[in-house]
Amino acid sequence: MRPSLVVGAFALLQGVAAQWAIWDLWTTTYDQSSLLTYSQPPNGIQFTSPGATGDVDIQVDDSSVYQTIYGFGAALTDSSALVLSGLKSTSPTKYWQLMDYLFNITDGANSGAFSYIRVPLGASDFSAKAYTYDDTTNNTADPNLTHFNISVAPSYLFSTLTDILTVNPQLRVHVVPWSPPAWMKNGTMDGGYIQPQYYNALANYLLKSLQGFKTKGIPIFAISIQNEPQYTNPTIPTTNVTAPAEAAIGKLLRPLMNSNGFADTKLIGYDHNWDNAATYPVQLMQQAGSSFDGVSFHCYKGWVEEQAYFTEKFPDKEVYFTECSGTFGSDWWSDIKDWMDNIMIGSVTYGASSGLMWNLALDPEGHPKLPDAASCGGPGCRGVVTVTNTTWSVNQEFYSLAQAAKAIIPRDSNGPWGQRIGVNVTGTGLTVGAYVTGRASSSDWNRYSLVVLNENDDSDNGGWNPQAVDATIEFRGTQATYTFPVGVTTLWWYAPAQ
Ligand SMILES: *[C@@H]1O[C@H](CO)[C@@H](O)[C@H](O)[C@H]1NC(C)=O
Ligand SMILES: *[C@@H]1O[C@H](CO)[C@@H](O)[C@H](O)[C@H]1NC(C)=O
Ligand SMILES: *[C@@H]1O[C@H](CO)[C@@H](O)[C@H](O)[C@H]1NC(C)=O
Ligand SMILES: *[C@@H]1O[C@H](CO)[C@@H](O)[C@H](O)[C@H]1NC(C)=O
Ligand SMILES: *[C@@H]1O[C@H](CO)[C@@H](O)[C@H](O)[C@H]1NC(C)=O
Ligand SMILES: *[C@@H]1O[C@H](CO)[C@@H](O)[C@H](O)[C@H]1NC(C)=O
Ligand SMILES: *[C@@H]1O[C@H](CO)[C@@H](O)[C@H](O)[C@H]1NC(C)=O
Ligand SMILES: *[C@@H]1O[C@H](CO)[C@@H](O)[C@H](O)[C@H]1NC(C)=O
């Protein structure tokens, strides 16, 4: 963080090499000897006249500027909010330390800098009970939503969101239901489908949800119509919403949002796996493209490359990556490689503006969950943070998200967020994302950043031989040299806008 020094040097050195240098690095290594560890090379890692290239050559192309990255984070389920509020009641100092470590986006903070949180509207499988905001006795139809009540959501959900907003006022909240009220469906929150005569009621239900969050002081960045619309499960709130049904509901919701003060809130469709990227989200845009800002993806089926089936057809629509869960019993470093490759670097390279894991916080057993929920089976789903009433610890999910978030947070308070820029990599072992973050004042130098995964550990061949990689970084005709340890490295340098 030495931009003023760099700016001073620029005046003297303009025209020769070494105008810019890497001053800030965060590193998480495979052996956990570094965990989002900050370092500052005393003289900077200088960009000089190009020499021989390293074993891997990273070519940064800042003339190609792509999507804004809105942030990284996870879902604040009811269960996440419950365990966090338990920590708050028992150990408030630890709670606020955790909040700061997760959500402080100040440029120099030692934090994960999460800025994107997904919140279920009503119950998910990580709730104390199944509920929506308009449940009626015997599922009597309530098409005018006279029983709608946002306060049936647990108060700890709103108090936790409020606390997060005090640490990060720029937090982006993306809301989405797991189920509409059972009376809109064929009689059940757990599975089933939305009946067409209630599409209008559902659109109004979603509008009232936005209004309800607003009355609680929570601004909403984006809303989706249904979590995982192609998945039903008779033990947890889920809903079969076909692409034509979602298109019809979106066409009703968008004008309601526009005429009720939510014109700036994004409407995001699909919210399901990569495997159907070529069908459902494409049909949705064909049928109701003007109502939706974009679509979101989950990791549980298919491959990240399939996002291109969507982005190639609809290059002007936004893409979000909104859910992937870690499970207990997996290998710490293998998980980080997987998620950096496919989500925090991979999905973003394929156009995503966000990267989110599933539960933000759970207890050490991956609880609490709905009674009798048959989901997150096997060893169970792990939270990004493991929380008891008296302790917290962060998991591999945290480091994956944090290393990416550090690359795109605003350089100036209320300055712009990072955007992806072009990068090509020759040689093997490194996967790289590149970003530019503009400045509040156009005379200040932009921040350029890389997120670099070094997975040169021979595990692809069934072996184990972790080896650092000697790399060169090419930028505007200059070259820096750095040896990347096996792990994830995020680094920054500053240069004038061009
Ligand atoms: C990266 O590769 C693409 C495709 O081969 C090429 O068009 C582009 O010029 C390359 N950019 C850099 C910075 O080398
Ligand atoms: C945590 O504290 C809450 C009250 O704040 C209590 O109901 C709960 O049982 C406690 N949990 C554990 C695991 O001790
Ligand atoms: C965020 O981090 C900065 C830098 O460490 C610190 O000055 C500030 O107090 C922190 N903000 C909050 C809300 O904790
Ligand atoms: C709900 O259904 C039960 C059983 O059919 C019935 O006894 C009860 O009167 C109903 N309640 C209302 C409010 O309709
Ligand atoms: C809903 O409201 C409309 C207009 O106020 C009214 O005509 C209609 O009867 C109401 N429907 C129900 C089921 O209460
Ligand atoms: C809404 O629900 C809350 C929590 O259950 C309750 O306290 C409140 O009275 C309800 N409001 C109305 C208008 O029923
Ligand atoms: C709702 O519809 C689904 C799909 O047709 C069916 O499997 C389920 O049994 C129905 N549920 C009820 C309560 O009727
Ligand atoms: C959802 O409903 C459609 C139309 O009835 C059906 O084709 C599809 O199989 C259903 N999907 C699920 C997961 O139940």
pLDDT score for 1: 41
Binding site membership of 152 for ligand 6 (Cβ less than 6 Å): yes
* Domain map (residue ranges) of the chain: 5-68+416-495, 71-405
Residue 205 has pLDDT above 50, yes or no: yes
pLDDT score for 11: 39
SS3 57: strand
Q: How many angstroms separate the CA atoms of 256 and 258, rounded?
A: 5
Pocket test for ligand 6, best of 149, 155, 157 (most atoms within 8 A of CB): 149
pLDDT score for 135: 98
Q: How confident is the model at residue 108 (pLDDT cuts 50, 70, 90)?
A: confident
pLDDT score for 377: 86
Q: How confident is the model at residue 15 (pLDDT cuts 50, 70, 90)?
A: very low
Residue 476 has pLDDT above 60, yes or no: yes
Cβ atoms of 370 and 123 within 8 Å: the answer is yes
Atom from ligand 3 closest to the CA of residue 99:
14
Sequential DSSP letters for 8-54: HHHHHHTTSS-S-EEEEEEEEETTSSSSSEEE--TT-EE-BS--S--
Instruction: For the chain, give the percent of residues with pLDDT over 90.
Output: 95
pLDDT score for 498: 86
Q: Which residue is closest in CA terms to ligand 2's atom 3?
A: 86
Instruction: Decide yes or no: CATH 1.10.240.10 for domain 5-68+416-495.
Output: no
CA-nearest of 196, 191, 200 to 238 is: 191
Give me ligand 3 centre to Cα 109, in Å.
6
| Range 356-370 average pLDDT | 97
Give me ligand 1 centre to Cα 59, in Å.
8
Right CATH number for 71-405 from 3.40.50.2000, 3.40.50.300, 3.50.30.30, 3.20.20.80? Answer: 3.20.20.80
Residue 6 has pLDDT above 80, yes or no: no
Q: What is the mean pLDDT of the chain?
A: 95
Q: How confident is the model at residue 18 (pLDDT cuts 50, 70, 90)?
A: low
Give me ligand 6 centre to Cα 151, in Å.
6
Higher-confidence position of 12 and 435: 435
Q: Which residue is closest in CA terms to ligand 1's atom 13?
A: 61
Q: Which residue is closest in CA terms to ligand 8's atom 7?
A: 242
Q: Hey, what's the torsion of the CAs at 291, 279, 347, 335, to 10 degrees? A: 130
Binding site membership of 139 for ligand 2 (Cβ less than 6 Å): no
Minimum-distance ligand to the CA of 147? 6
| Range 95-121 average pLDDT | 97
pLDDT score for 2: 42
Beta bridge partners of 434: 421, 450
Locate tokens 């984006």: which residue? Answer: 222
Q: How confident is the model at residue 212 (pLDDT cuts 50, 70, 90)?
A: very high
Q: What is the pLDDT of residues 118-154, one digit of tens each?
A: 999 999 999 999 999 999 999 999 999 999 999 999 9
Q: What is the pLDDT of residues 178-197, one digit of tens each?
A: 999 999 999 999 999 999 99
Beta bridge partners of 449: 435, 492
Residue 16: Cβ within 10 Å count? 10
Q: Which residue is closest in CA terms to ligand 3's atom 4?
A: 109
Q: How many angstroms separate the CA atoms of 58 and 65, rounded?
A: 17
Residue 9 has pLDDT above 80, yes or no: no
Residue 389 has pLDDT above 50, yes or no: yes
Atom from ligand 5 closest to the CA of residue 144:
1
Q: What is the pLDDT of residues 284-328, one digit of tens each?
A: 999 999 999 999 999 999 999 999 999 999 999 999 999 999 999
Q: What is the pLDDT of residues 151-181, one digit of tens each?
A: 999 999 999 999 999 999 999 999 999 999 9
Q: What is the pLDDT of residues 403-420, one digit of tens each?
A: 999 999 999 988 999 999
The one-letter amino acid at 371: P
Residue 6, both tokens: 């760099």
Give me ligand 1 centre to Cα 416, in Å.
26
This prediction has a pTM of: 0.95
pLDDT score for 5: 40
Around 304, how many Cα atoms within 13 Å sit in the side-chain half-sphere?
Answer: 21
Q: Which residue is closest in CA terms to ligand 7's atom 7?
A: 192
Q: Hey, what's the torsion of the CAs at 118, 119, 121, 126, to 10 degrees? A: 110
Q: What is the pLDDT of residues 220-271, one digit of tens each?
A: 999 999 999 999 999 999 999 999 999 999 999 999 999 999 999 999 999 9
Residue 385 has pLDDT above 60, yes or no: yes
Cβ atoms of 361 and 84 within 8 Å: the answer is yes
Give me ligand 1 centre to Cα 424, in Å.
6
Q: How many angstroms separate the CA atoms of 457 and 464, rounded?
A: 6
Residue 414: Cβ within 10 Å count? 8
Give me ligand 3 centre to Cα 170, in Å.
14
Residue 343 has pLDDT above 60, yes or no: yes
